Structure 1
Amino acid sequence: MSDPIITFDHVVKEFKVRGRKSGVARAVDDVSLTINRGDIFGIIGYSGAGKSTLVRLINALERPTGGSVSVLGTDITSLSESKLRPIRQKIGMIFQQFNLFSTKTVAQNIAYPLQLDHWRKDYQDRRVAELLDFVGLSEHADKYPSQLSGGQKQRVGIARALATNPEILLADEATSALDPETTTEVLTLLKRVNKEFGITIVLITHQMNVVQQIADRVAVMSAGRVVESGDVYDVFAAPQQPVTKRFIATALSGLPEQDRVERLHTEWSGRIVTVLIRQKDVSDSHGREVSASGQNISELIAKHGIESGLLYGGIDTVRGSAIGAITYEFKGDDARVNAFLAELAENSDVIDFGTAANPVPYDEAVSGYTPEHAPIAPAVDAAKANAADQNNEGAQA
């Protein structure tokens, strides 16, 4: 049974902006969202989407202009600073740039929130030792931040955030400054935090692959709104919105990037088509059932007598189920290829990049398909929606 720990109810957050005709910018726009206890919940969006502002509403560093925010069963929307203090003590924070004190040692950085909380010195020492062991930095206790790698600094940040035994951990772009290998190590540590301590983690990021590796559920933000949310596998496997599809393109194994598609067009004259592989049926963000994808490719190739060649591909596992993409070259007369792709699109997600002679622009192809009923040529409306989405994000940046 779900146990809400954070609830946004029609939340709006506006800021005054000089020089703007309306005088205000809406960073969060009518957001209703529930995060359950024990979740690792990803909030993803491009720069300016409103995700960091939304998270700052959780610890009341920002106050909503409209709507309400409940944390740990308490409506914090209008609480005084004194009444907020005990709630904030249950919320830890991890930052992109670590925010460590350069003049304090590793142990002193971790002990800092315990000092603010007036813990006894022997309790502080014991807690710091426990946390240093947990994050694997016991031998670095007396070093200074300048002597540590980026990954080690973030481990110190995680230990400090855990010092006062929080129930919620907010991680704002916590891996953006790290290389891929170190990112994986930090995410593995955060998984341990969630599993061993039962701490709810809210992860703010613009990196879809981070969400893929760690999150249980995800919300996608664009121009201050939550445009899509749900189980991570469902959102990956059946994205509905152009912004989500562009994110998926950055993380989904086997989906070729733009320059690779251009290279394929120079090497192969046929129709370059990517078929998404979805192992199981899922529910989209509107609760509609979307069937598995890519399960009958070979059967349809044989049925229509299409020439085919496998050019690129890959499969990942997201929350225990396979998802990925395979890119083919399909050749034959246009009528036969179109009939084949139309039937394939009835039960699979098809991303059609066109031919070398008549290529489909990459962004249109990736953001224009519709799960389970993909258009053979992406609709003009999808391209317009994509462009409008990018403009909105730019206005919020």
Structure 2
Amino acid sequence: MSDPIITFDHVVKEFKIRGRKAETARAVNDVSLSIDRGDIFGIIGYSGAGKSTLVRLINALERPTSGTVTVLGTDITALNESKLRPIRQKIGMIFQQFNLFSTKTVSQNIAYPLQLDHWRKDYQDRRVKELLEFVGLAEHADKYPSQLSGGQKQRVGIARALATNPEILLADEATSALDPETTTEVLALLKRVNEEFGITIVLITHQMNVVQQIANRVAVMSSGRVVESGDVYDVFAAPRQPVTKRFIATALSGLPEESRVERLHGEWSGRIVTVLIRQKDVSDDHGRTLHASGQNISELIAKYGVESSLLYGGIDTVKGSAIGAITYEFNGPGWHVDEFLRELAQHSDVIDFGTAEKPVAYADAVANHIAGAEAAIANQQSVSQDESAEISASHEGANA
């Protein structure tokens, strides 16, 4: 059962445009969204999408123009500063540029929020020591930020954000300034924070691979709106919006770009086909199910006796399940290949780029794939409704 810790209800945030008295810009546009307690929730979007503004509404650094924001069971939309204080104390924040005091040591940076909160000095010292050990910086306690690497600075930022035992941690582009290896280390630390302390983490990022590594759910923003949201695997495996597809293309390997397909046609004479790999069924926000894909390729190759060559592809893991795409060349008698692809397409997402002699235009191949996937979903829904009708009829008959 879900337990929302943050809820946006039809939230709009507008800003006045400088130099234009009557004009406003809408940074957040009618967003309704819930984040559950204990979750790691990713909010992703390109620059200007509204994601940072949305997160600043959580700790009331920005106030909505309309709609309501509920945090920890309290509608914070119209609270004054004194009533916001106890809620803000339960929210920690880490930043892209670390925001450390250059003239304070690592220990002093971590202790700063405890000093503001008027903790006793012995409690401060004990808490700082605990956090230094947790983030792996015990031996750097007396160093200054200038003596640390980027990853170490962000660890200090995380320790500082955890100092007052928050229930929510907001991470605004927390890994954008880090190299890939350090990013992985920092994300692993954030996952430990979530698992060991039960802290809800909201990740704001433009990096889909960050969401892929640790988030459970994700919301994709574009022009101030949430255009797509759901379980991370479901969004990765069956993205619906163009902006989501562009993001996922940056994080997942496997799907060949148009120029690569052209090169493959120049090097191979057979049928060039990409099969999307999806290890498990996924559902969208409308309750529609898209079944697993690419799980019976070897079996069907053997059944139809087609010749196959693996040309390109890649498989990634999202939340423990495989996802990706594999591109093959299939050869053999034309009717064999046609029959093989027809049966393969019944249970898998297939993009058929044709042969070198009879190529299918890239845009047409992708469009045909989308149309086929939508038809498959509609067919699954129809079958499900027919089965429900049969069950209902059988019950009526039994009752009669």
Q: TM-score band (shorter)?
A: 0.7 to 0.9
SS of 1:32's partner is strand
Residue of structure 2 in register with 1:197 after alignment:
197
- Give the Å deviation of 1:333: 8.1
Root-mean-square deviation (CA), in Å? 2.8
CA distance in 1, matches of 2:155, 2:292: 39
Contact 1:294 1:349 (8 Å CA) reproduced:
yes
1:163 and 2:163 equivalent? yes
SS of 2:327's partner is strand
1:187 and 2:187 equivalent? yes
Greater mean alpha carbon deviation, residues 81-90 or residues 293-302: 293-302
Residue of structure 1 in register with 2:36 after alignment:
36
Residue of structure 2 in register with 1:373 after alignment:
373
Residue of structure 1 in register with 2:111 after alignment:
111
Contact 2:234 2:283 (8 Å CA) reproduced:
yes
| Rg larger in structure | 2
* TM-aligned CA distance change 1:281 to 1:193, over 3 Å: same
Structure 1 segment 122-133 matched on structure 2, within 5 A: 122-133=122-133
Residue of structure 1 in register with 2:4 after alignment:
4
Q: Which amino acid counterpart does residue 81 of structure 1 have in structure 2? A: E
1:274 and 2:313 equivalent? no
CA distance in 2, matches of 1:51, 1:369: 31
1:77 and 2:80 equivalent? no
Residue of structure 2 in register with 1:23 after alignment:
23
Contact 2:187 2:213 (8 Å CA) reproduced:
yes
1:288 and 2:304 equivalent? no
* TM-aligned CA distance change 1:264 to 1:199, over 3 Å: same
- Give the Å deviation of 1:372: 6.5
Q: Which amino acid counterpart does residue 80 of structure 2 have in structure 1? A: S
Contact 2:351 2:369 (8 Å CA) reproduced:
yes
TM-score, normalised to structure 1, is 0.85
Deviations 1:251-310 (A, max 9, x none): 224334666556545533444432111111121232211111112334555666654321
Residue of structure 2 in register with 1:318 after alignment:
318
- Give the Å deviation of 1:140: 0.6
Greater mean alpha carbon deviation, residues 333-342 or residues 296-305: 333-342
The number of residue pairs the alignment matches comes to 374
Contact 1:349 1:374 (8 Å CA) reproduced:
no
CA distance in 2, matches of 1:369, 1:68: 40
Gaps of 5+ in 1: 376-397
* TM-aligned CA distance change 1:179 to 1:261, over 3 Å: farther
* TM-aligned CA distance change 1:278 to 1:118, over 3 Å: same
Greater mean alpha carbon deviation, residues 16-25 or residues 116-125: 16-25
CA distance in 2, matches of 1:182, 1:322: 24
Identity of aligned residues (%): 84
CA distance in 1, matches of 2:193, 2:250: 27
Contact 1:245 1:366 (8 Å CA) reproduced:
no
SS of 2:2's partner is coil
Residue of structure 2 in register with 1:380 after alignment:
none
* TM-aligned CA distance change 1:78 to 1:325, over 3 Å: same
Gaps of 5+ in 2: 376-400
Residue of structure 1 in register with 2:45 after alignment:
45
CA distance in 1, matches of 2:366, 2:107: 48
Q: Which amino acid counterpart does residue 50 of structure 2 have in structure 1? A: G
* TM-aligned CA distance change 1:23 to 1:126, over 3 Å: same
- Give the Å deviation of 1:344: 3.5
Structure 1 segment 56-75 matched on structure 2, within 5 A: 56-75=56-75
- Give the Å deviation of 1:341: 4.6
CA distance in 2, matches of 1:340, 1:17: 59
- Give the Å deviation of 1:17: 2.0
Greater mean alpha carbon deviation, residues 177-186 or residues 233-242: 233-242
Structure 1 segment 292-371 matched on structure 2, within 5 A: 292-301=292-301, 306-331=306-331, 341=341, 343-352=343-352, 358=359, 360-361=361-362, 369-370=369-370
SS of 2:370's partner is coil
- Give the Å deviation of 1:199: 0.1
Q: Which amino acid counterpart does residue 154 of structure 1 have in structure 2? A: Q
- Give the Å deviation of 1:233: 1.2
Residue of structure 2 in register with 1:214 after alignment:
214
* TM-aligned CA distance change 1:301 to 1:89, over 3 Å: same
* TM-aligned CA distance change 1:17 to 1:246, over 3 Å: same
Structure 1 segment 378-389 matched on structure 2, within 5 A: none
Residue of structure 2 in register with 1:174 after alignment:
174
Q: Which amino acid counterpart does residue 17 of structure 1 have in structure 2? A: I
CA distance in 2, matches of 1:359, 1:177: 42
* TM-aligned CA distance change 1:268 to 1:4, over 3 Å: same
CA distance in 2, matches of 1:365, 1:131: 54
Residue of structure 2 in register with 1:136 after alignment:
136
* TM-aligned CA distance change 1:23 to 1:280, over 3 Å: same
Q: Which amino acid counterpart does residue 77 of structure 2 have in structure 1? A: T
CA distance in 2, matches of 1:245, 1:369: 14
Contact 1:240 1:285 (8 Å CA) reproduced:
no
- Give the Å deviation of 1:19: 7.0
- Give the Å deviation of 1:79: 0.8
* TM-aligned CA distance change 1:105 to 1:372, over 3 Å: farther
- Give the Å deviation of 1:88: 0.7
